[in-house]
Amino acid sequence: MSNAKPAPLVGLLVSKGSKEETFLGDIAFFKDLQKEMTSNGGSLFLFLLEGIQQDLITGYMFYEGQNKWRRQHFPYPDLIYNRISSRAEESNPSFLKLKELYKKKNRYFFNPCFFNKIECYTLLSSIRTLQPFLPKTWPYTSMEDLLKKLSIYQTMFIKPVQGYKGKGIYKLAANGTYFTVYHGSKKTNYLHYEFVSLIKKICEKKQYLIQEEIHTDTIDRCKYDLRIHCLYNRGKHTITGIGVRKAAQDSIMTHVPHGGHIISVDEIKHRLNEDTLKSLAEQIGQSLSSFYGFVGEFSMDIGLTRDYQPILFEVNSKPMKFDEQDIQIERIKRLSKLFVALAAEPKIDE
């Protein structure tokens, strides 16, 4: 009689695409992760919320020889990796029921939800050792409050609380008789009443935050920031790799879709305090997991001040693909090994 343990089974929870049996997200990443899991003695399948049934899950595995995803039935997996694409879907009763089930069964529900920027700031700013690395941040409550803060700080950013990929970010500046609004590489001057009308229109459509501007280091007079991928590993969160994004001339945005471009970390390696970055990854990972539930993976958007101190602008619960191939390959390897390890052990206390 064999005493061999069953192979670890991971369910990758995704959102439905626009066509039948298609999925949202980075499909190449999903395929590579499935392949790596197989090489580590485990299995990984994709599934949608609609595939959840009482005693099994209808999901999909990719077959390279046929170049297609095939529908199959699976038992409930040892671990669920949450890659759902929308916040609305995370409020779906099926999602909440599944998350609660895994909590009761003491199984890992890897990255339980999207982060809320205000919640994250409130959480992290309550930790004394993290306070020096955070820009002052407030929820937008009224135009009067924003104008008061702008009169004190002169320049500020407004950002959607549930935004991503740099969408909806504006820089605001008070210049005495007029106000300047920066969006991407464009800047426009407004009289007081025009400015008030515009900002109300922006901030009252969705929830926004206000953030002080930190004057960061530059390369060739262009802004840049760091994209740092972090993974849980043997009791703490460690750094997988660091990408660097440089803004176009006169732009406030470093995101590639908004005109930014990738530069090698070697160009700014001498400016990085790696021990400080490692400490930030550990503390932030632990804090996020204590608040949200087990956060196995996240990324940090970090700027450097002109004397090279890291400033945390944002943490992301579902990091996108890293364009740096070495980081993405290492990420997939480490994720797969982590899944196998977590599937074989009791869940840590949150």
Kindly report, residue by residue over 11-52, the tens digit of the pLDDT. 999 999 888 778 999 999 999 999 999 999 999 999 999 999
Comparing CA positions, the residue from 97, 21, 6 lying closest to residue 54 is: 97
Mean model confidence pLDDT for the chain: 91
Res 3 pLDDT > 70: no
The yes-or-no verdict on residue 127 having pLDDT over 70 is yes
Q: Are 331 and 240 in contact (CB under 8 A)?
A: yes
**First CA to last CA across the chain, in angstroms?**
37
High-pLDDT (> 70) share of the chain, %: 95
- Per-residue pLDDT tens for 137-191? 999 999 999 999 999 999 999 999 887 666 789 999 998 889 999 987 788 999 9
Q: How confident is the model at residue 257 (pLDDT cuts 50, 70, 90)?
A: low
pLDDT score of 338 more than 50: yes
| Residues 73 and 58 sit within 8 Å (Cβ to Cβ) | yes
The band of 4, judged by pLDDT with boundaries at 50, 70 and 90, is low
Read off the pLDDT band of 76 (50, 70, 90).
Answer: very high
Dihedral-angle region of residue 117 (phi above 0 means left; psi in -120 to 50 means alpha; beta otherwise): alpha
User: What local confidence, expressed as pLDDT, does residue 2 receive?
Assistant: 47
Among the residue ranges 78-82, 128-132, 317-321, the one predicted with the least confidence is: 317-321
Cα separation, 264 vs 245, in Å, equals: 9
Task: Evaluate whether 305 touches 225 at the Cβ level (below 8 Å).
Answer: no
Distance of CA 65 to the CA centre of its chain: 33
With beta carbons less than 8 A apart as the criterion, state whether 282 and 237 touch: yes
pLDDT attached to residue 258: 61
- What does the DSSP assignment read for 261-317? EEE-GGGTGGG--HHHHHHHHHHHHHHHHHHHS---EEEEEEEEBTT--EEEEEEES
User: What global pTM score does this model have?
Assistant: 0.91
Residue 348: what pLDDT?
56
C-alpha to C-alpha distances, 89 to 14, 170, 319, 333, nearest whole angstrom: 10, 27, 18, 28
Q: Whose CA is closest to 158, among 167, 193, 259? A: 167
- How far, in whole angstroms, is CA 291 from its chain's centroid? 16
Q: d(Cα 314, Cα 245) in Å, to the nearest integer?
A: 14
pLDDT tens across 290-337, in order? 999 999 999 999 999 999 999 999 999 999 889 899 999 999 999 999
- Beta-carbon neighbour count of residue 142 at 10 Å? 11
Angle, in degrees to the nearest 10, between helices 192-203 and 143-153: 120
CA distance 72 to 233: 31
Interval 100-124 mean pLDDT: 93
Specify the pLDDT at position 20.
78
pLDDT surpassing 50 at residue 1? no
Q: How far apart are the C-alpha atoms of 241 and 326, rounded to whole Å?
A: 8
Asked whether the predicted pLDDT for residue 75 surpasses 70, the reply is: yes
Neighbours of 89 (CB within 10 A): 18
Cβ-proximal residues to 104 (8 Å cutoff; 6+ apart), any chain: none
- Residue 37 · residue 339 · CB < 8 Å: yes
Q: Specify whether the CB–CB gap between 240 and 334 falls below 8 A.
A: yes
pLDDT classification of 6: cutoffs 50, 70, 90: confident
